[in-house]
Structure 1
Amino acid sequence: MTTLCKVSTLLLTLASITSVDAKPAVNTTNSNLKSRSNVSFIVNGFPTTEKKFFARIGFTFNTKFCGGAIIDEFWVLTAARCVDQVNGQPYEWRHLTVEVGDFTSQVPETSKFRVSRVHIHPEFNVTTNSHDIALIELKRPVPNDRIKEMCTSTPEFGTLVATCGLGSTSRSSVAPASSLRELFFRETFISYSIPFNVGFCPDDQLCMEPVAKGGSICNLDEGGPLYKLHCGTRIPECILGIASYYIVSDNPEMNCRGDNTFASVPFHFRWISSIVASG
């Protein structure tokens, strides 16, 4: 008996959306690939209830932030590009803070966690976007009810997955959302929309096509969790990926459209587990 929940007509009706328009594919090594810009989006997403395992990674020296996924009382997963200062060297712990909560109001000091160490995957490459994953170790534990286990295997194509973030809901605004928003995805190897044209997805990455037309992650949503959803309840089951990169167009109206790429948690499971165990 299978428990997989495929993206279906029911989901499309729920979202009141259609699939992404077919467009010429773009090579993933193209200079249009961006991981940093001046705007952030969960575009065409939906308001969602608090995802307790979602964390916001803040920086002491600017207003930039990234998402994160709480996988252990002392450990948070995020994108390597979020904490990479230069050439694989992480920012010093004193420059980072991890925040938890529903993010509908100012985060209290009790929900802010100081960082003790940062581990960037040793094979992270910002040029090729490979192994874009990192671990942040906290100085004190987060409550156990905020922990979400990692997926140990990649589900079948079409399985219902989602991501959440705090980015702007409009391409014309840089203001973050007042609360978390969620976006549905389906996995794809061969895509007829931006950004894939090689016909396959690297093993260390998950290439996801948004169900929503024009839906996308964008800058500042990097590091956020991709999670498998239970078929019947749509309750998050496990952390499947970490938001990595997307395509940005010179035309602002075309920013953050098409497919998105996430670092695969199942692929990196052994590395993650070894770091957590050594801590």
Structure 2
Amino acid sequence: MIGTCGMGSLSRGQTSYPDTLQEAHFSETKLETPFIPYVHEPVFCREDNICTERITRDANTCTMDDGSPVYQFECRHNHNGSSTFRVPKCLYGVVSFHEGTRRNKLNTATNSTSNRDREVEECSARSIFASVPNLLPWIRQVIRSY
């Protein structure tokens, strides 16, 4: 499991942002897009990216989360060993980009959607992260140049 946190919008196109830091959890996958047999060939994740699937349905990266940290977790135990919890272990990547899905906005007055209702784009599709371990040689080169 990997996680990220940020203060980006909760829905794409939204102009207000949360008052508190938001966290989302993901599992890493080798596929860039979900594979649907007999529909299309699998698209594998690039070596310099971290491709993910959301663990929590309503949590994802969104507008203004770009550059936020992505971290691995490690398990720790409390002092008497009765419970286990996860804490961030190390910087694993940074938010690179996300995709949204389109849906019709519900007209609350009529409790329906129509062609006249505005279509909204949510940050509910995939998130792709830049891999820090893969970019480490470049990061060190840039640091040495200063």
TM-score by length of 2: 0.69
Quote the Cα distance in structure 1 between the aligned partners of 2:120 and 2:73: 30
Q: CA RMSD in A?
A: 2.2
Question: Match for residue 274 of structure 1?
Answer: 141
Question: Match for residue 64 of structure 1?
Answer: none
Q: Does 1:192 align with 2:59?
A: no
Question: Match for residue 205 of structure 1?
Answer: 49
Quote the Cα distance in structure 1 between the aligned partners of 2:89 and 2:144: 22
Structure showing greater Rg: 2
Letter in 2 for 1:248: G
Structure 1 counterpart SS, 2:89: strand
Question: Match for residue 226 of structure 1?
Answer: 70
Quote the Cα distance in structure 1 between the aligned partners of 2:126 and 2:100: 11
Per-residue Cα deviation, 1:210-236 (whole angstroms, up to 9, x for no partner):
101142111111111101111234221
Quote the Cα distance in structure 1 between the aligned partners of 2:97 and 2:45: 13
Higher relative contact order (CA 8 A, sep 6+): 1
What number of residue pairs does the alignment pair up?
117
Q: Does 1:180 align with 2:32?
A: no
Greater per-residue strand proportion? 2
Counting only pairs closer than 5 Å after superposition, residues 1-279 of structure 1 correspond to structure 2 as: 160-169=1-10, 173-190=14-31, 191-192=33-34, 198-232=42-76, 233-251=85-103, 252-279=119-146
Per-residue Cα deviation, 1:35-78 (whole angstroms, up to 9, x for no partner):
xxxxxxxxxxxxxxxxxxxxxxxxxxxxxxxxxxxxxxxxxxxx
Structure 2 counterpart SS, 1:231: strand
Question: Match for residue 6 of structure 1?
Answer: none
Question: Match for residue 116 of structure 2?
Answer: none
**Contact 1:189–1:207 (Cα < 8 Å) also in 2:** yes
- The CA deviation at 1:188 is 0.9
Letter in 2 for 1:278: S
**Contact 1:214–1:258 (Cα < 8 Å) also in 2:** no
- The CA deviation at 1:245 is 1.1
TM-score by length of 1: 0.38
- The CA deviation at 1:250 is 4.1
Gaps in structure 1 of 5+ consecutive residues: 1-159
Question: Match for residue 108 of structure 2?
Answer: none
Letter in 1 for 2:24: L
Structure 2 counterpart SS, 1:267: helix
Identity of counterpart residues, as a percentage?
32
Q: 1:175 to 1:262 in 2, by over 3 A?
A: same
Per-residue Cα deviation, 1:5-60 (whole angstroms, up to 9, x for no partner):
xxxxxxxxxxxxxxxxxxxxxxxxxxxxxxxxxxxxxxxxxxxxxxxxxxxxxxxx
Structure 2 counterpart SS, 1:266: helix
**Moved segments of 4+, more than 3 Å:** 169-173, 249-254
Question: Match for residue 22 of structure 1?
Answer: none
Structure 2 counterpart SS, 1:185: strand
